[in-house]
Amino acid sequence: MNITEFAKAAGVSVSAVSRYFNDGYLSEDKRLKIEAALESTGYMPSYSARTVRSKVTKLVGVILPKLSSESISRVTEGISEVLGAEGFELLLVNTANDYNREISSLELFRQNRVDGVILLASVFTDLHRSLLSKMRVPAIIVGQKLMGFNCVCHNDLGAAYSMTKLMLDKGAKVPAFIGANPEDNAAGRDRRLGFEKALAEAGIELDKSLCEIAKFSMESGYEKAGRIFTQKKKPDCIFCATDNIAAGVMLYCRENNIRIPDDVMIGAVGDSRMGRLLYVPLSSVHLHYKTAGIEGAKMLLNEMKGSSSVHRIMQLEYDIIERESTARL
Amino acid sequence: MNITEFAKAAGVSVSAVSRYFNDGYLSEDKRLKIEAALESTGYMPSYSARTVRSKVTKLVGVILPKLSSESISRVTEGISEVLGAEGFELLLVNTANDYNREISSLELFRQNRVDGVILLASVFTDLHRSLLSKMRVPAIIVGQKLMGFNCVCHNDLGAAYSMTKLMLDKGAKVPAFIGANPEDNAAGRDRRLGFEKALAEAGIELDKSLCEIAKFSMESGYEKAGRIFTQKKKPDCIFCATDNIAAGVMLYCRENNIRIPDDVMIGAVGDSRMGRLLYVPLSSVHLHYKTAGIEGAKMLLNEMKGSSSVHRIMQLEYDIIERESTARL
DNA sequence: CTGAAAGCGCTAACAA
DNA sequence: TTGTTAGCGCTTTCAG
């Protein structure tokens, strides 16, 4: 059944029906007629036909590197909360960390499929930048700072700095570092910089043999812990770029009878739910992931109703959550 | 730029362009011309206009109760993997456990917005059933068994039975139970039934004072543990419907100096990543969440290319993961 | 294999 | 306020 047939069935004109579903510039009489007919026929206007004319999809494309990550799903939850309340649906693309899928989704969204885009990517290339600026709809980047674009991000540098400083202040002298891919400016580069800043301030020289780059997984953290603890120099604290990495380190410590925090303190960034449940509760920096999603969505909403030419970068601050893993006397 | 303008620019007819993007019934000459023009103009066909005519959206609606849950995100990951490979995108609706949003999304999908639907719901009402049968596109239910519909589900009863039996076989005599909402047939009712079956087989009578219903959260598990441990009768094993609940119970035990597994064994269902990291590694039943997503998506794919009138219910089996929380001598 | 032309179902401009 | 009608951009007959 289409709008013409339905209008006939309801005894009103086609435009009355269209108005009913849109602005509502309509007499009460017709409104009632339409509602009655709606009840009996179960008619539903076609979304795509509407979109062809109006150019409004009521869809927001969300591109993310994976689904089964706590931080990402918290961001997504925030996004969906705000956008859902405004009647937008999410067109989700899980790139599975595949760079090509990231690019192709951006391409995909250039066709008039969505009214806006939210991008959660970890590594940005020139191709990203060029596609993003060619975008015909507003785009917001969440979790990363990309100059010249609208972003909501965390203070990764500050977070890493504060956590490292916390451990140094407690007396750690030989810090180790397990970081993330440095091409990832947030979790990789900035957290590294924060770590280094704290060391520099404390006048401690960075020992390269105690620095490792891990993947975003517990397994990888476990493996890198193994490398670090088999060096001659033994660290008395380890800064981990993510909670997952820290969890892997802890697993290694437990299996190898390395006491936390007595032998080694462990501090991380992310404050996942898991942290407080670990066999030694993990000190971590809380980042406001859900808030980032909420703010990103709001920013997008703003851009979609009249985009401004001024780009905004919103940086969210952090909270340090101190638990036993850094509780040295 | 639309297809007419683009066709002109490429020096071919409109239908040639359309064919290029569809079946490809086209001479090499024109194909080349089109590709060249594509390069220079950056033309992209409009998705919605295509959909109006062809009735194909290449979209699958996924309705889920929350995003930030490990089991749900694993299911979604499986879905997205299979569907993504077939060129489908996901239209995601996060109902935030809101029954009304579940219903309204089902309504939404009745308009020709999607080619198929995957529903992850926990509680089914008659309204669900009626909307599902009115659906014009195939729908698959994942994680629950709903007679008369296509489902992919887990053997929740068996899982709970096996975990409980494991603990009883190790000598537990006073089992306690912390379950989920019984209206949830999978995680609530069936896991309860499995627990009861194991007790019945062992000739142990169920003590109602040692049975609690928790929400799907650690906090709730913590609270219910408090209720149970303040009864006169002290349990020597606790079956928890989910890992999150078990984590809360463990937290309670740690704070109250109740030793695991010496004083009380703990077994759960779900086998989340967190389980092995808890201060006492948690015995849990592994359910194949990602596989459920994969199989659900495959089933949907099948239905979308010619739906059969026969409904299928696929039940996935489980693996018992034994860790220290049930390691009594 | 090709192009012209008739819609798909809806919205929006326009005239009433 | 209302109804008529010309498109939106594309696909798909149909006749060549």
Closest of A221, A263, A238 to residue A168, by C-alpha: A238
Closest residue to C13 (CA to C1') is A15
Q: Is the pLDDT of residue A16 over 80?
A: yes
| pLDDT recorded at residue B308 | 75
Express each pLDDT in B67-124 by its tens digit. Answer: 889 999 999 999 999 999 998 999 999 998 888 899 989 988 887 889 999 999 889 9
CA–C1' gap, A21 and D6, in angstroms:
21
Chain A with chain B: Cβ pairs closer than 8 A: 137
Q: Which of A182-191, A274-283, B244-253 is predicted least confidently?
A: A274-283
Distance from CA of A205 to the nearest CA of B (A): 33
Check CB contact of A81 with chain B, cutoff 8 Å: yes
For residue B28, name the pLDDT band (cuts at 50, 70, 90): confident
Structural domains in chain B plus CATH codes: 3-54 (1.10.260.40), 59-154+289-316 (3.40.50.2300), 156-287+320-326 (3.40.50.2300)
Residue of B nearest to A56 (CA): B48
Smallest Cβ–Cβ distance between A277 and the set B68, B96, B247 belongs to B247
Q: Do B275 and B284 meet the contact criterion of CB atoms below 8 Å apart?
A: yes
Residues 6+ apart with CB under 8 A from A121: A63, A65, A102, A128, A141, A144
Q: How far, in Å, CA of A75 to CA of A72, rounded?
A: 5
| pLDDT recorded at residue B311 | 92
Q: Is the pLDDT of residue B312 over 70?
A: yes
Which of B94, B131, B271, B290 is the best substitution to test chain A (most A C-beta atoms within 10 A)? B94
Per-residue pLDDT averaged across A268-279, rounded?
92
| pLDDT recorded at residue B329 | 63
For residue A157, name the pLDDT band (cuts at 50, 70, 90): very high
| pLDDT recorded at residue A236 | 95
The upper half-sphere exposure of residue B57, i.e. CA atoms within 13 Å in the direction of its Cβ, equals 25
| pLDDT recorded at residue A128 | 93
Residue of A nearest to B66 (CA): A77
Q: How far, in Å, CA of B111 to CA of A44, rounded?
A: 5
Per-residue pLDDT averaged across B221-237, rounded?
96
Per-residue pLDDT averaged across B4-24, rounded?
88
Q: Which of A5-19, A23-37, A268-282, B284-298 is predicted least confidently?
A: A23-37
CA–C1' gap, B58 and D1, in angstroms:
40
Express each pLDDT in A71-81 by its tens digit. Answer: 999 999 999 99
Question: Measured from the CB, is A3 under 7 Å from any atom of strand D?
Answer: no
CA–C1' gap, B5 and D10, in angstroms:
13
| Tokens linked to A185 | 């400016």
Chain C positions with any atom < 7 A from a protein CB: 1-5, 7-13
Smallest Cβ–Cβ distance between B76 and the set A45, A67, A110 belongs to A67
Residue of B nearest to A101 (CA): B84
DSSP code per residue over B63-100: EES-SS-HHHHHHHHHHHHHHHHTT-EEEEEE-TT-HH
For residue B197, name the pLDDT band (cuts at 50, 70, 90): very high
Residue of B nearest to A75 (CA): B68
Q: What percent of chain A has pLDDT over 70?
A: 99
For residue B125, name the pLDDT band (cuts at 50, 70, 90): very high
Q: Do B52 and B112 meet the contact criterion of CB atoms below 8 Å apart?
A: no
Give the containing element (helix H, strand E) for B256.
Answer: none
For residue A208, name the pLDDT band (cuts at 50, 70, 90): very high
The per-residue pLDDT of chain A, averaged, comes to: 93
| pLDDT recorded at residue A30 | 87
Question: Measured from the CB, is A2 under 7 Å from any atom of strand D?
Answer: no
| pLDDT recorded at residue A329 | 62
Q: Do A129 and A153 meet the contact criterion of CB atoms below 8 Å apart?
A: no
For residue B55, name the pLDDT band (cuts at 50, 70, 90): confident
For residue A70, name the pLDDT band (cuts at 50, 70, 90): very high
Smallest Cβ–Cβ distance between A77 and the set B74, B94, B250 belongs to B94
Residues 6+ apart with CB under 8 A from B4: B14
Q: Is the pLDDT of residue A308 over 80?
A: no
Contact residues, A window 90-129, toward B, CB-based 8 Å cutoff:
90-94, 96, 101, 107-108, 110-113
Q: How far, in Å, CA of A302 to CA of A307, rounded?
A: 7
Contact residues, A window 183-212, toward B, CB-based 8 Å cutoff:
none
Q: Is the pLDDT of residue A198 over 80?
A: yes
For residue B136, name the pLDDT band (cuts at 50, 70, 90): confident
Per-residue pLDDT averaged across A111-138, rounded?
91
Contact: B77, A68; criterion CB under 8 Å: yes
Q: Do A218 and B245 meet the contact criterion of CB atoms below 8 Å apart?
A: no
Per-residue pLDDT averaged across A9-36, rounded?
87
Query: 3-state SS of A7-66?
Result: HHHHCCCHHHHHHHHCCCCCCHHHHHHHHHHHHHHCCCCCHHHHHHHHCCCCEEEEEECC
Q: Is the pLDDT of residue A23 over 80?
A: no
Q: Which of A229-238, B16-25, B91-100 is predicted least confidently?
A: B16-25
For residue A258, name the pLDDT band (cuts at 50, 70, 90): very high
Length of chain A: 329
